Structure 1
């Protein structure tokens, strides 16, 4: 399947967000990736770009060893979906997370997420990844 040049750019933008913002929890890099009019749909974070920065600062202070291990990224037009494993500290089973980003004018304009706990010994032997 071939991607358009715009889809490649959208995918690169979200890859950059993970590399420069989410993995290092660097709120100072948010403005390069996220629109000033950013719409947040996550039920874990307040709305807006400035609130996202404050949320990242809080998470970094609480769990400085957190890891976002990306398993796959998918792009469809102006939407990029990321499936990844969050571990807050060494030994943490963490969460399986899916983020959906909508890109507009070269920045992330909107975000949704869904999360589930990663468990040991559940009824399904298949990994969530």
Structure 2
């Protein structure tokens, strides 16, 4: 009888643990998707609509930047791109694909200055914490006129 109670208690704990793990996994999945949506919405509003001030509401005040041409902090970041968009009003950044892993969101971008520009292939990586973009890295490569293969960069 004692073995049966122990077995039932153990089975109950296993089922409870599995249920909690599934709930945690679902919550984690919802959180990562929320991070991806936050970044995608920010990116489109900021880099395509050039609605800098509204988009920047999701950027943390102590925003950390790893692109060596752009300063740290929300205000300097906004100022940098406000000036950039004044001089490049036709610039656009098409999101080709996105991926997320917890608090990191990756965007594969085709960025152009105007309709005639071949542009750049960019991978932007953002860290999200508590509903705010807190950190950014990027890797940028010009789209060449010719390539050694028939593949595109996108």
Name the TM-score, length of structure 1 as normaliser.
Answer: 0.93
Residue correspondences, number: 128
Query: Unpaired segments of 5 or more residues in structure 2?
Result: 1-25
Return the index of the structure with the highest Cα Rg.
Answer: 2
Distance 1:106 1:53 in 2: 18
CA drift of 1:64 comes to 0.3
Q: Which has the higher helix share?
A: 2
SS at match of 1:4: helix
- Whether the 8 Å contact between 1:80 and 1:101 is mirrored in structure 2 is yes
Distance 2:122 2:41 in 1: 18
Distance 1:79 1:4 in 2: 13
Q: 1:93 to 1:11 in 2, by over 3 A?
A: same
- Whether the 8 Å contact between 1:45 and 1:52 is mirrored in structure 2 is yes
Give the CA RMSD over aligned residues: 1.4
Match of 1:20 among 33, 41, 45: 45
1:49-128 equivalences under 5 Å are: 49-128=74-153
- Whether the 8 Å contact between 2:60 and 2:132 is mirrored in structure 1 is yes
Match of 1:4 among 29, 38, 41: 29
Name the TM-score, length of structure 2 as normaliser.
Answer: 0.78
Q: Which has the higher strand share?
A: 1
Q: 1:62 to 1:126 in 2, by over 3 A?
A: same
Give the structure 1 partner of residue 20 of structure 2: none
- Structure with the bigger RCO (C-alpha within 8 Å, sep 6+) is 1
Query: Unpaired segments of 5 or more residues in structure 1?
Result: none
Distance 2:63 2:55 in 1: 11
Distance 2:119 2:96 in 1: 14
